[in-house]
Amino acid sequence: MSEIVKEVLDEVINKIIQDMPENPPNEMDDEKAKKKLKNERRRLYYNKNIVKEREKSKSYYHRNKERFSTKNECPCGGRYTSVNKNIHYGTRGHLNWVRWTSCNIELQK
């Protein structure tokens, strides 16, 4: 690892330690601080092993390529991939279908 990267990492770690409260006022803040530290550690690990991590995510994509690209049929008549499922649920066409079906259910009562 180059000296510059080491310096930057040390700086980031020092900043995290400085930002962490010595006596957290309550449990919630303690949990938040722990989560923040965990995220920072994860990010540092990722940046240290960036080449390896990128290879890992590439191979994960290739292993699951078929699953990511298969289209699912929605009862509204639309189609979506698993990656775009939540985006589809927010589209005007899908929301109109939801409104329409809920109106029909209310009329049937």
**Does 81 interact with Zn ion (rule: CB under 5 A)?**
no
> For residues 43 and 26, what is the distance between their CA atoms, to the nearest angstrom?
26
Please tell me the distance from the alpha carbon of residue 92 to that of residue 89, in angstroms, as a whole number.
9
Q: Check residue 74 for interaction with Zn ion (CB under 5 A).
A: yes
From candidates 16, 78, 81, 84, binder to Zn ion by CB under 5 A: 78
Q: Least distance (Å) from Zn ion to the CB of residue 35?
A: 34
For residue 97, which amino acid is it?
Answer: W
Task: Output the smallest distance, CB 97 to Zn ion, in A.
Answer: 6
What six digits make up the tokens of 52?
């390896």
Bridge partners (DSSP) listed for residue 72: 80
- Summarize as ranges the residues that interact with Zn ion (CB under 5 A): 74, 76, 78, 94
